[in-house]
Amino acid sequence: TSTPAEAPAGDKQAPAGEEQGGTDADADKPADKDGEVKVAFITQSLSNASQAYAWTQFQKYADDYGFTVTVFEEDYDAQNGVAAIGTCIAQGYTAICINPTDPSAMIPSFMEAQEAGIIVGMYSSEVPEGNEKYRDFMCGTDDYMAGEVAAQTLMEEFPDGVKVVQVGGQSGHSAQIKRNDGFVDTIKDTNITLLDSKDCGAWASEDAMAIMEDFIVAYGDEIQAVYCHWDVGATGCIEALKNAGMDDVYVIGVDGCSVGYDQVIEGTQALSIGQSFSQMTQDAFDNITKIMKGEDFDEVVWTKLDIVTKDTVNDFPYPEW
Amino acid sequence: MKRDISARFTRSLRNNLVLVGIIALIVVTAIIEPKFISSANLTNVMRQLWPLPFIALGMTFVIIGGFIDLSVVGMISLSGVVAASLINPLGQVGAILSGILLGGMMGYLNGFVLTTVGAMIQAEVLFITFGMSSIYTAIALLLTNAETLRIARSTKPYNIFTALGSGTVGMIPVVLIVFLVILVIMHLFYKKTLAGRSISLMGGNKEAAFLTGYNVKRSMRLVYTISGIMSGMGAVSLVSRVTTATATSGIGYETNAILCVVVGGTSLKGGKGSVIRTMLGVLLVVLLGNCMNLLGLSTFMQTVMRGAVLVIAIWLDNRREL
Amino acid sequence: MGENILVVKDVCKYFPGVTALDNVSIEVPRGIVYGIVGENGAGKSTLMKILSGVYEKDGGTVVFNGETIEHTTPIQALQRGLSIIYQEFNLVNSMTVGENIFLGRFKENRGMRGTHKKARELLDSIGSTINTYTMVGDLSASEMQMVEITKALSFDSKLIIMDEPSSSLTSEELKRLGIIINQLRDKGISIIYISHKLDEIFEYCDIVTILRDGRVIDTKPVGEYTRNEMIAKMVGRTIENEFPPRAHFVAEPLLEVRNLNTKKLKDINFTLHRGEILGLVGLVGAGRTEIIRALYGADKARGHKIFLRGKPVNIRNPKQAMRAGMGLVPEDRKHEGLILPFSVEGNITMASLEALTKYGIVNRAAERDIAKRQIDSLSIKTPTQTTKMISLSGGNQQKCIVGRWLEIEPDILILDEPTRGIDVGAKYEIYLLMNKIVESGGAIIMISSELPEVLNMSNRVLTICEGRITGEFKPEESSAEEIMERAIG
Amino acid sequence: MNIKIASQRVWGTISKQGAVLAILVLMIMMLFFKTNFYTAYNWLDMLRSAAILEIVAFGVTVAVICGGCDLSVGGTLSFGGIAAILLINIGFPIWLAIIIAVLGGAFVGFINGFLVVHQKTEPFIITLGMGMLLKGVCQVLTDAHPLPSKVPAFMEISNSKFFASIPSLVVYMVILFAAFHYLMRYTSFGRNCYAIGGNYEVAEYSGIKVIPTKWAAFIISGATAALAGVLLASRMNTGSSVYGDNTGMLVNCGVVIGGTSFAGGVGGIRESFIGLFVIQILINCMSMLGLDSYYQKLFEGILIVTIIGLDCFFRMRKRESV
Ligand SMILES: Nc1ncnc2c1ncn2[C@@H]1O[C@H](COP(=O)(O)OP(=O)(O)OP(=O)(O)O)[C@@H](O)[C@H]1O
Ligand SMILES: Nc1ncnc2c1ncn2[C@@H]1O[C@H](COP(=O)(O)OP(=O)(O)OP(=O)(O)O)[C@@H](O)[C@H]1O
Ligand SMILES: [Mg+2]
Ligand SMILES: [Mg+2]
């Protein structure tokens, strides 16, 4: 039997007082352990297809960068994320890429991780304003932007104003909250009227469908557009509209997954706002490499959102998830 | 004499609280929001029901038998995923049948595990089925990698699914007709057959049933199998309705189904209950959601209301027996 | 303060269908041992439970230590100085011996250590070596009894009631009990001592009261009784026509049981004949119920052989027992017999449903007929056939269970305490039913704690003591005294 | 001789508590892998991760020992944290906010106690409903947004370290463990709880005030859950309505896994600690080994079914033994 492996890198080398990882001083640090660079991907939930796909991207690019990658799942419970970061510290990980259920809840853990010399990267999500110092970088698109894009598209598409309903994701989840806030903040003082807005109990298309059906009863033909927080939920909305014989409603979904693409191609969904996880992952890996080498890096790397409509759908590779 | 009539009235009122609740709900909502009683909304409600009635139907048998089944979450998820993914290899009929069959098998497995380890009280059963649910969900996740399966992607025809999901005969959804047939069958099964009777005997008093020559363990496996089959059917109706399947689609149905059964007046102590009353419970719960949506109540308030209804329903049910 | 610690005057207690106590009066002086005897069901325990506040009395007065007591609760009784060792164990199995002795008095003893220390002292004082840290659930019945006694002693009591304290003691422990009783008497503490074992009564008691059917039959100093007189007064009944004439249809052997063993039973062998009523007699806890449950396949037993009509049969569960032609009316009506949320009809037809089922479907019309037939023939008093079982009286509930079996005409009907809690009239009807069954060629095994009932109804009686068959009698040819002697062991 | 007795005792503990066995198996298994499982940091970290749920479990254990069960702790947990942060954000001193939050939890427990103890309803279903209701309340309070604390000092409570390396949460857990252990083992309240759960009637006859005691057990359970919620909110610097989503089921499950039976009267704080810790160790081991989280779910389910199932099985064997 083996004796326990060497004590975690962070544990040994991080005296309590040390401040802030990710600077030049730490450059040599992670590589010391038989050259293995361990990167953790901490995600809200692997039951969520987008996150499961993002994880495949981590695995795909890990070899190119010489990383070993592991995934941790929060299962939509921030406590699990905190526990995962603890494990990463114990195991001496080099870097963490995290897409947390609740970013603000992670700040204390980020402090610890940095104390232990671990590179902390936000992935597809940003920390609350004013807390930027607790993470080393952020890659991807924030869900808030998805909401903004949805609102902007509506403004372009309906310059004379439009009546829209919003079908939210699971109540209380960061994606739902940000996609909502981005949208609501942007349409303020515009000629877009938000007729009604409701969240789901879970990320379940039947929930979205039920809400949409009730919207149809309540508002009927007034509804000109639907903003649904995720493409699979949009499927439910589309089914509800189909059943009600309302074919000309402008449906917006977020995710850019294959379901969304299909619907855009079929013409039932007008717009899917996609995120390129492969790009995001590469950006994150680039940043980690740069930080390890002590090179300059961009603290925030925005990944462009894919605006997938019938006209642009062929510009993007068909998503693998 | 007058006292007698009024006493009888209060008693029947108390015994039919669900009906009273439903009527009150309809009247109040109709006054505030006239759209509620429009035909569009009626169709709407008839569509929104699914798959809850199936799940609640299965759960009724488990609860009448004196147990509880939290594994419906996993069973719905796995059955749904399997049914959706088998359309291509097996064709739609095969897919539907295998979804239902798989549900039955999982249910039987639950019953088998429970009788083998001798879990005979509700609390033991509660946690073991909870664990089984995790197992089924995990398998569904492993099969799909959490991806959403769309039946529209299948190369084989899937018109039965479409018919179940959104087809109507006149105003009545196809799935409702299918369900009513099943409901009648299950009602007759419960009322008329020996197997049905032995379920409620088991729920009423396991020891007495055992001493009178009933095979309690077999009845136990039976109720779980029924719950499994109903979860399978529910999963198929769910997949048809939303045209997608995911490995987590069963979440929340366990509490909702228990809510419907209890609100319908089937006692958690087991032994007595009614399949039809459960349907009233389903109706009340779904109408409540629908009303709150139409009245513009926030999602949050709806959660509060559901919890309050559950607590009050159980409390009243309990008082009725005191 | 008089010289009597306890004066009970004209106390009555009624249970549905039963008069458990009928104007009972006793006076217990200080510093003596007061014996109460009487057959099973005479009302001894009921009287004690009224004194200790478990039951509410329906009439009469109780004066304890000069204080007239209207209402009392178990804890108030204890605080006044009246403690009781209940007939049924009154211990928490999942707690230690020490804690059980001082249950609810943790604080007074300054915590766990004090509790165990005091418990140790008390146990030592009665010469018991039970470890105070043992779980009560792991103790033997006799050790539990010692714990109960210790618990009663732990209160600063003026009167200690012992309701059959010796029923599960070993002879060694019994000797120690005698010493304890003498010690207590010397301290001026009174004891009410209830037992079926007359030797003990004669050895320990000063005054003895005989109860029968809830009435005081006689009270005098123990020296003035002879043993035979006492037994005669306990069992002697003069009420006419309480039992129908005994049936005499005994024919060829129907059932043979060989080497039935369980944890509690040792080598049970007996034969049951067609047309016979076989009575099992024994004290509470002797193992009668265990015999019939094992026989019926409800409990696991090992190594036994059962022959039915000369052929070996295998009975591993009640279903197989039913197929072999047996039926069981269990002793605990509520927990083992009835389905309370069900209707009268549903309860009656339970056992016959299989026969009424064709292609899995129960013939409801036939079911209703059956229920109607049984309700009529047993004259079960119920508003309607669909009335809920829970609203029937005990006797009528019992008749439903008997009716359940009558319908399928089993060859062998096992009746465990068939008349418990049932009034005289209903009892008589059940006796008639029993005779009818044997008349038509069936056989009955009957357990009853009421000796006269067994003796008058049975063709043959087996006495059971501590899991063994200790004797076989023909009631016509033997006296009740003889039989009781064997049952006591 | 002594060794024999000692080994018998060890074996007795193991066979009585499947969770201990499971922990041993996991610990031995981890010897064969090259991980940092066996480091002081990891163990402290595991303890810290487990701390919140453990604290909730201590309270729940009190209710379970009395023969109850409390599934509403998830809702109470969220509620406690949210209430504390709401109050702190509007300027209450931290200590006062914490006290009020804990009192709020106690009030929830009071209502549970009223329904379960006083009105004699089925505890698990009524507390399930209560949990749902509370979740709704939390959503209403926060608009379903996470609610960060505006006072930095609040965060210090759960995120500081004692003696340079021991996380404060671990210290709190140890203190509360000791307090609850003392309460249940060495006070008359605790012993009365065991008596009530062990045999309700006997407890009543022995002069124990059964209703107030059992009621108090629910109040303790609620207050503890709220306290844990405050600590969690401090740990996260945030209060949120989603924090308690899995807590109720998980904690009660852990308590049962530990060997505190729902029948009441047996088990204890130590057992519950182990029951929840085994889940934590399992998660930690699987994370260390980099196991896919779908497999984690699978193994969690298998663990629950196996341990509770074996428990039932041995109890059945004991009942039926010849
Ligand atoms: N809780 C009860 N409900 C109905 N009937 C009861 C109840 N308790 C006792 N009885 C009836 O009251 C009568 C007296 O019972 P009790 O227990 O006092 O007898 P006992 O003299 O103690 O007999 P034993 O020697 O068997 O202990 C019996 O007929 C019994 O069936
Ligand atoms: N489930 C049980 N757990 C613990 N002790 C039991 C149990 N069942 C019976 N006993 C005890 O075992 C002994 C034998 O019980 P059993 O029922 O066989 O006696 P019995 O002769 O039928 O007496 P009776 O029917 O008059 O009570 C009694 O002392 C009883 O208290
Ligand atoms: Mg008695
Ligand atoms: Mg008996």
Give the tens place of pLDDT for each residue, A132-141.
Answer: 888 888 888 8
CB contact under 8 A, A49 and B146: yes
CB contact under 8 A, A77 and D238: no
Going by CA atoms, what residue is nearest to atom 9 of ligand 2?
C285
Report the pLDDT value the prediction gives residue C199, as an integer from 0 to 100. Answer: 78
Going by CA atoms, what residue is nearest to atom 18 of ligand 1?
C43
pLDDT tens digit sequence for B19-32:
888 888 888 888 88
Please state whether at least 3 CB pairs lie below 8 Å between chains B and A: yes
Q: What would the DSSP string read from start to end of A55-113? A: HHHHHHHHHHHTEEEEEEE-TT-HHHHHHHHHHHHHTT-SEEEEE-S-HHHHHHHHHHH
D128/B contact by beta carbon, under 8 A: yes
Integer-rounded Cα radius of gyration of chain A: 21
Domain boundaries, chain C: 4-235, 253-325+410-488
User: Tokens 């003498």 belong to which residue?
Assistant: C182
Neighbours of chain C (3+ CB pairs under 8 A): B, D
Chain C residue numbers with beta carbons less than 8 Å from the beta carbon of B211 are 296, 298, 318, 328, 330, 336-337
Integer-rounded Cα radius of gyration of chain C: 24
Chain D residue numbers with beta carbons less than 8 Å from the beta carbon of C94 are 194, 197-198, 265-266
Q: In the predicted model, is pLDDT for residue C80 greater than 70?
A: yes
Summarize the confidence of residues A96-100 as an average pLDDT: 90
User: What is the whole-number distance in angstroms between the Cα of residue C264 and the centre of ligand 2?
Assistant: 10
Task: Point out the ligand nearest to the CA of residue C286.
Answer: 2
Per the CB < 8 A criterion, the answer to whether C149 and C85 are in contact is yes
- Residue burial B180-202, b: 16+ Cβ < 10 Å; e: rest: eebbeebbebbbbbbbbbbbbbb
D122/B contact by beta carbon, under 8 A: yes
Summarize the confidence of residues B214-228 as an average pLDDT: 94
Per the CB < 8 A criterion, the answer to whether C65 and C225 are in contact is no
Q: How far is D263 from chain C (nearest CA, A)?
A: 11
Q: In the predicted model, is pLDDT for residue A286 greater than 90?
A: no
Q: What are the backbone dihedrals phi and psi of residue C225, each rounded to the nearest 5 degrees, phi first? A: -95, 150
CB contact under 8 A, D198 and C94: yes
pLDDT tens digit sequence for C353-376:
888 888 888 888 888 998 998 888
Burial class (CB in 10 A: 0-12, 13-18, 19+), B228: buried
The residue among C361, C386, C397, C400 with the most chain B CBs within 10 A of its CB, best to mutate, is C361
Return the C-alpha torsion angle A130, A134, A137, A138, nearest 10.
-60
Token code pair at residue C185 = 């008497």
Measured CA to CA, the distance from residue A317 to residue A312 in angstroms comes to: 11
Going by CA atoms, what residue is nearest to atom 25 of ligand 1?
C40
Q: In the predicted model, is pLDDT for residue C167 greater than 80?
A: no
Helices and strands counted in chain D (H then E):
14, 4
Q: In the predicted model, is pLDDT for residue D41 greater than 90?
A: no
C351/B contact by beta carbon, under 8 A: yes
Token code pair at residue C362 = 């129960």
Q: How far is A252 from chain D (nearest CA, A)?
A: 23
Q: Which helix (H) or strand (E) holds C193?
A: strand C190-194
Per-residue pLDDT band at A216 (split at 50, 70, 90): confident
pLDDT tens digit sequence for D235-266:
888 888 888 888 888 898 889 888 887 777 88
Which residues, at least 6 apart from C22, have a Cβ–Cβ distance to it below 8 Å? C12, C213, C214, C215
Going by CA atoms, what residue is nearest to atom 3 of ligand 2?
D319
pLDDT tens digit sequence for B252-279:
888 889 888 988 888 888 888 888 889 9
Per-residue pLDDT band at C425 (split at 50, 70, 90): low
Residues within 8 A of B (CB atoms), D 148-207 only: none
Residues within 8 A of D (CB atoms), B 161-220 only: none
User: Tokens 């004797």 belong to which residue?
Assistant: C471
Measured CA to CA, the distance from residue C488 to residue C235 in angstroms comes to: 15
Per-residue pLDDT band at B3 (split at 50, 70, 90): low
Residue among D47, D44, D45, D62 nearest D224 (CA):
D62
Summarize the confidence of residues C309-333 as an average pLDDT: 88
Greater confidence (D93 vs C482) lies with D93
Burial class (CB in 10 A: 0-12, 13-18, 19+), C66: exposed
Is there an atom of ligand 1 within 6 Å of C87 CB?
yes
Summarize the confidence of residues C298-326 as an average pLDDT: 87
Measured CA to CA, the distance from residue C296 to residue B211 in angstroms comes to: 9
Residues measured by CB to lie within 5 Å of ligand 3, the ion: C 45, 87
Measured CA to CA, the distance from residue D69 to residue D126 in angstroms comes to: 10
- Domain C4-235 shares a fold with domain C253-325+410-488: yes
Candidate from C74, C75, C104 with C-beta closest to D195? C104
Q: In the predicted model, is pLDDT for residue D7 greater than 50?
A: yes
Report the pLDDT value the prediction gives residue D2, as an integer from 0 to 100. Answer: 63
Alpha-helix residue ranges (DSSP H) falling in chain B: 2-15, 17-32, 39-48, 52-64, 72-85, 87-117, 122-144, 159-166, 174-192, 194-204, 206-211, 216-242, 253-263, 275-294, 299-321
State in words which class domain D46-310 has.
mainly alpha
Measured CA to CA, the distance from residue B272 to residue B262 in angstroms comes to: 12
Please count the CA atoms within 13 angstroms of the CA of B299 that sit on its side-chain side.
25
Is there an atom of ligand 1 within 6 Å of C202 CB?
no
Give the count of Cβ contacts less than 8 A between chain C and D.
68
**CATH architecture, domain C253-325+410-488:** 3-Layer(aba) Sandwich (3.40)
Report the pLDDT value the prediction gives residue D226, as an integer from 0 to 100. Answer: 95
Per the CB < 8 A criterion, the answer to whether C37 and C194 are in contact is yes
Going by CA atoms, what residue is nearest to atom 30 of ligand 2?
C285
Is there an atom of ligand 2 within 6 Å of C284 CB?
yes
Chain A residue numbers with beta carbons less than 8 Å from the beta carbon of D241 are 171-172
pLDDT tens digit sequence for B52-71:
999 999 999 999 999 999 99
Give, to the nearest 10 degrees, the angle between helix D210-236 and helix D40-65.
Answer: 150
Dump strand ranges (E) for chain A: 37-43, 67-73, 95-99, 119-123, 137-140, 162-170, 192-200, 225-228, 250-255, 271-274, 300-302, 306-308
> How high is the ipTM of this complex?
0.81
Using DSSP, state whether C277 is helix, strand or coil.
strand
Q: In the predicted model, is pLDDT for residue B82 greater than 70?
A: yes
Using DSSP, state whether C218 is helix, strand or coil.
strand
CB contact under 8 A, D293 and A46: yes
Token code pair at residue D23 = 């922990």
Neighbours of A24 (CB within 10 A): 11
Measured CA to CA, the distance from residue C268 to residue C288 in angstroms comes to: 11
Report the pLDDT value the prediction gives residue A59, as an integer from 0 to 100. Answer: 87
Using DSSP, state whether C29 is helix, strand or coil.
strand
Query: Topology of domain C4-235, per CATH?
Result: Rossmann fold (3.40.50)
Residue among A196, A242, A218, A222 nearest B41 (CA):
A218
User: What is the whole-number distance in angstroms between the Cα of residue A268 and the centre of ligand 1?
Assistant: 78
Chain A residue numbers with beta carbons less than 8 Å from the beta carbon of D235 are 82, 108
Q: What are the backbone dihedrals phi and psi of residue A136, each rounded to the nearest 5 degrees, phi first? A: -85, -40
Q: What CA–CA distances, in Å, run from D98 to D139, D228, D231?
A: 20, 11, 9
Give the count of Cβ contacts less than 8 A between chain B and D.
148
Q: In the predicted model, is pLDDT for residue A19 greater than 50?
A: no
Measured CA to CA, the distance from residue C53 to residue C75 in angstroms comes to: 8
Task: Point out the ligand nearest to the CA of residue C213.
Answer: 1
Measured CA to CA, the distance from residue D103 to residue D125 in angstroms comes to: 24
Give, to the nearest 10 degrees, the angle between helix A205-219 and helix B275-294.
Answer: 60
Summarize the confidence of residues C444-461 as an average pLDDT: 85
Cα of A101 vs its chain's centroid, Å? 9
Chain B residue numbers with beta carbons less than 8 Å from the beta carbon of C319 are 213-215
Candidate from D195, D207, D321 with C-beta closest to C95? D195
Single-letter code of the amino acid located at C424: V
pLDDT tens digit sequence for B126-167:
889 999 999 999 999 899 888 888 887 777 788 888 888 878
Please state whether at least 3 CB pairs lie below 8 Å between chains C and B: yes
Per-residue pLDDT band at A4 (split at 50, 70, 90): very low
Neighbours of C259 (CB within 10 A): 13
Candidate from B193, B207, B209 with C-beta closest to C362? B193
Per the CB < 8 A criterion, the answer to whether D37 and D288 are in contact is yes
Token code pair at residue D267 = 């088990």
Token code pair at residue D193 = 């709880």
Integer-rounded Cα radius of gyration of chain B: 20
Token code pair at residue B127 = 């946690």
Closest-CA residue of B relative to D67 is B123
CB contact under 8 A, C75 and D207: yes
Domain boundaries, chain B: 37-251
Q: What CA–CA distances, in Å, run from A287 to A39, A312, B103?
A: 12, 30, 48
Burial class (CB in 10 A: 0-12, 13-18, 19+), C246: middle
Per-residue pLDDT band at A10 (split at 50, 70, 90): very low
pLDDT tens digit sequence for C31-42:
899 999 887 667
CB contact under 8 A, A211 and B293: yes
CB contact under 8 A, D121 and B318: yes
Q: Which helix (H) or strand (E) holds C26?
A: strand C18-29
Candidate from D34, D36, D238 with C-beta closest to A102? D238
Q: In the predicted model, is pLDDT for residue D320 greater than 70?
A: no
Candidate from D41, D158, D292 with C-beta closest to A90? D41
Measured CA to CA, the distance from residue C137 to residue D263 in angstroms comes to: 15
User: What is the whole-number distance in angstroms between the Cα of residue C212 and the centre of ligand 3?
Assistant: 12
Closest-CA residue of D relative to B131 is D301
Is there an atom of ligand 1 within 6 Å of C42 CB?
yes
Q: pTM of this prediction?
A: 0.84
Can you state the percent helix, strand and coil of chain D, rounding each to 5?
Answer: 75, 0, 20
Cα of D192 vs its chain's centroid, Å? 21
Give, to the nearest 10 degrees, the angle between helix D2-16 and helix D18-31.
Answer: 100
Q: What would the DSSP string read from start to end of D192-204? A: HHHHHHH-HHHHH
Burial class (CB in 10 A: 0-12, 13-18, 19+), A16: exposed
Neighbours of chain A (3+ CB pairs under 8 A): B, D
